[in-house]
C-alpha cells in the first residue's frame, strides 16, 4: 500500500497495512537541546529534524499543488529595535511585537501594533496584498503539478488558509472581538473576500488535478472554548467553508478538509463538519477529549494528534500509559496518533526516542534512526 492509499483509507476508518506516521515537529529550543544529547548537528529545523532523523512519512512527499491564498507579498520579518534582552520586530503578518531574543529562549510576543487598526487599513491590505488575480498565486509549473497529482503515489495537499485565524493575526483578538459586536458587516466583508480569493485561485486549476486533503488553519480556540461564539461561527463561517469544500470535492475529488486548531474545539467540531471540514488536528489532550468526539461523530470525523506532550516530559512510564489510553481509538480506526503539538524543550532526546520506538510498535512500522 503506498502513502497516498494508506492515508486516504486510514482517514476513512478503513483497514490499512499500517497507520500513517506523521509528527508535528518540535520547538527550535528543543532541537538545540537534543543536539547536546545525541542528535547529530546536521539534523536541524522545527519540522525537518524529526522527520529526517526518524524517517517519518512526512519525507515521503513529492511536489504538490502549491497555491498561495494568503498575503502576497507577506511582510518582511525584520528587527526594528533592540532593547537589552528583548527585540521589537515586524512579523510576516505586519504586526509589531516585542519578544525575547531568540537565542535566550522562546517567549509569547507582546503585540504593540497590528496591521489592521480600522477599515482604511483593511482596504489597503486587501488591495495591496490580497489580490486574487495576482499571477504569483500559482506556480509557473502548475500544469505539470496538476498532471503529477493524477498519478502520484503520495498524498496531494492544498493549503486553503483561514477565515478567522488570519484576520485575528492582522487585527488582534481584542479588536476583532469588538468588531464582531460593533461592525459585524465589516468582519463578514473580510471573510467574504478571503473566501472569494480562495475560490478564484482554485477555479484556475478546477478539473485539472486530484486533491486528497485541503489544509485549513484557524487556531481560534483557547482552553475553555472558541474565541467566537458558535452562533456567529455558524452565521459567518459555515456557509463560506461549504462553498470552498463543495467546490474542492466537485472539481478536484477532494474528500478531506483538515482544520488546524489548538485548544478546546468541542463546540465547533459539529459546525466545522457541517461546513465540510472533517479532519480535526492536533487535538490537544489538555483541552479536547478525542473519545468524546469519537462518540459523537464516529468515523465521520477523522482525527490526527492526541498524544499528550506532557507525557514526554514525565518519562517512559507516562509515555506507556498515554499509549495505553489511546490504544482503543487507534484500533477503532480513523485516527492518526502523534504528539498533540510541537515537542517542547522540557523533553529529553532519550524520552522522545522511547516515544518513537513505542509508536512504531503500535502503528506497525519498523523503527529507524538516522
- Domain holding 253: CATH number? 3.20.20.210
Domain-located, residue 7: yes
Domain-located, residue 368: no
What is the pLDDT averaged over residues 302-328? 98
Q: Do 276 and 255 fall within a single domain?
A: yes
Q: Do 81 and 212 fall within a single domain?
A: no
Given a cut of 90, is residue 104 above it in pLDDT? no
Q: Do 138 and 221 fall within a single domain?
A: yes
Q: Is 216 helix (H, G, I), strand (E, B) or coil?
A: strand
Using pLDDT thresholds of 50, 70 and 90, give the confidence band for residue 240. Answer: very high
Q: Which residues, 6 or more positions from 140, have their beta carbon under 8 angstroms from its beta carbon?
A: none
Given a cut of 90, is residue 16 above it in pLDDT? yes
Centre a 10 Å sphere on the Cβ of residue 253 and count the other Cβ atoms it contains: 14
- CA of 21: how far to CAs of 116, 279, 297, 326, in Å? 39, 16, 23, 15
Q: Do 101 and 241 fall within a single domain?
A: no
Q: Is 336 helix (H, G, I), strand (E, B) or coil?
A: strand
pLDDT of residue 108: 87
Q: Do 108 and 191 fall within a single domain?
A: no
Given a cut of 90, is residue 225 above it in pLDDT? yes
Structurally, the chain folds into a number of domains equal to 2
> Can you give the residue range of the structural domain that contains 184?
3-70+116-363
Given a cut of 90, is residue 20 above it in pLDDT? yes
Q: Do 220 and 86 fall within a single domain?
A: no
Cβ contact 356:319 at 8 Å: no
Q: Do 50 and 165 fall within a single domain?
A: yes
Cβ contact 337:330 at 8 Å: yes
What is the pLDDT averaged over residues 186-204? 98
Q: Do 84 and 138 fall within a single domain?
A: no
pLDDT of residue 151: 96
Q: Do 276 and 294 fall within a single domain?
A: yes
What is the pLDDT averaged over residues 169-187? 97
pLDDT of residue 103: 83
Bridge-based pairing of strands 96-100 and 110-113 is: antiparallel
pLDDT of residue 107: 81
What is the pLDDT averaged over residues 78-104? 94
Given a cut of 90, is residue 320 above it in pLDDT? yes
Q: Do 102 and 62 fall within a single domain?
A: no
pTM: 0.96
Q: Do 107 and 180 fall within a single domain?
A: no
Could you give the CA distance from residue 215 to residue 233 in angstroms, rounded to a whole number? 19
Q: Do 279 and 300 fall within a single domain?
A: yes
Using pLDDT thresholds of 50, 70 and 90, give the confidence band for residue 60. Answer: confident
Could you give the CA distance from residue 63 to residue 231 in angstroms, rounded to a whole number? 39
Domain-located, residue 369: no
Among residues 87, 114, 141, the one where a domain terminates is 114
Length of the chain: 370
Domain-located, residue 370: no
Task: Determine if residue 105 is left, alpha or beta; phi over 0 gives left, psi from -120 to 50 gives alpha, anything else beta.
Answer: left
pLDDT of residue 102: 84
pLDDT of residue 5: 97
Which of 90-98's residues contact partners 24+ apart within 8 Å by CB, and which partners? 93/166, 93/169, 93/170, 94/125, 94/170, 95/169, 95/170, 95/172
Amino acid at each position: 500500500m503506498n502513502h497516498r492509499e494508506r492515508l486516504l483509507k486510514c482517514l476513512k476508518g478503513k483497514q490499512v497495512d499500517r497507520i500513517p506516521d506523521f509528527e508535528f515537529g518540535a520547538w527550535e529550543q528543543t532541537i538545540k537541546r537534543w543536539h547536546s544529547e545525541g542528535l547529530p548537528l546536521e539534523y536541524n529545523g522545527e519540522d525537518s529534524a524529526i522527520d529526517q532523523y526518524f524517517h517519518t512519512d512526512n519525507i515521503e512527499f513529492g511536489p504538490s499543488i502549491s497555491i498561495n491564498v494568503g498575503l502576497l507579498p507577506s511582510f518582511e520579518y525584520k528587527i526594528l529595535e533592540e532593547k537589552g534582552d528583548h527585540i521589537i520586530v515586524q512579523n510576516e503578518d505586519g504586526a509589531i511585537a516585542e519578544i525575547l531574543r531568540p537565542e535566550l529562549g522562546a517567549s509569547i510576543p507582546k503585540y504593540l501594533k497590528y496591521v489592521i487598526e480600522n477599515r482604511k487599513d483593511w482596504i489597503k491590505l486587501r488591495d495591496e496584498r490580497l489580490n486574487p488575480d495576482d499571477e504569483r498565486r500559482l506556480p509557473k509549473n502548475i500544469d505539470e503539478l496538476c498532471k503529477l497529482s493524477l498519478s502520484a503515489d503520495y498524498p496531494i495537499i492544498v493549503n486553503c488558509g483561514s477565515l478567522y485565524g488570519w484576520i485575528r493575526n492582522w487585527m488582534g483578538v481584542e479588536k476583532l472581538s469588538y468588531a464582531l459586536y460593533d461592525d459585524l458587516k465589516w468582519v463578514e466583508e473580510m471573510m467574504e473576500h478571503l473566501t472569494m480569493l480562495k475560490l478564484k485561485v482554485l477555479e484556475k486549476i478546477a478539473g485539472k488535478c486530484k486533491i486528497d486533503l485541503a489544509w485549513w488553519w484557524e487556531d481560534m480556540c483557547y482552553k475553555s472554548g472558541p474565541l467566537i461564539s458558535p452562533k456567529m461561527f455558524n452565521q459567518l463561517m459555515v456557509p463560506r467553508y461549504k462553498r470552498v469544500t463543495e467546490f474542492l470535492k466537485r472539481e478536484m475529488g477532494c474528500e478531506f478538509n483538515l482544520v488546524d486548531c489548538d485548544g478546546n474545539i468541542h463546540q465547533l467540531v459539529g459546525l466545522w463538519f457541517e461546513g465540510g471540514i472533517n479532519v480535526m488536528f492536533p487535538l490537544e489532550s489538555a483541552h479536547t477529549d478525542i473519545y468524546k468526539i469519537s462518540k459523537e461523530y464516529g468515523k465521520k470525523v477523522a482525527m490526527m494528534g492526541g498524544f499528550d506532550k506532557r507525557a514526554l516530559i514525565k518519562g517512559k512510564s507516562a509515555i506507556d500509559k498515554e499509549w495505553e489510553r489511546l490504544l482503543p481509538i487507534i484500533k477503532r480506526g480513523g485516527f492518526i496518533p502523534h504528539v498533540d503539538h510541537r515537542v517542547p524543550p522540557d523533553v529529553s532526546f532519550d524520552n522522545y526516542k522511547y516515544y518513537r520506538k513505542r509508536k512504531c510498535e503500535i502503528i506497525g512500522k519498523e523503527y529507524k534512526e538516522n
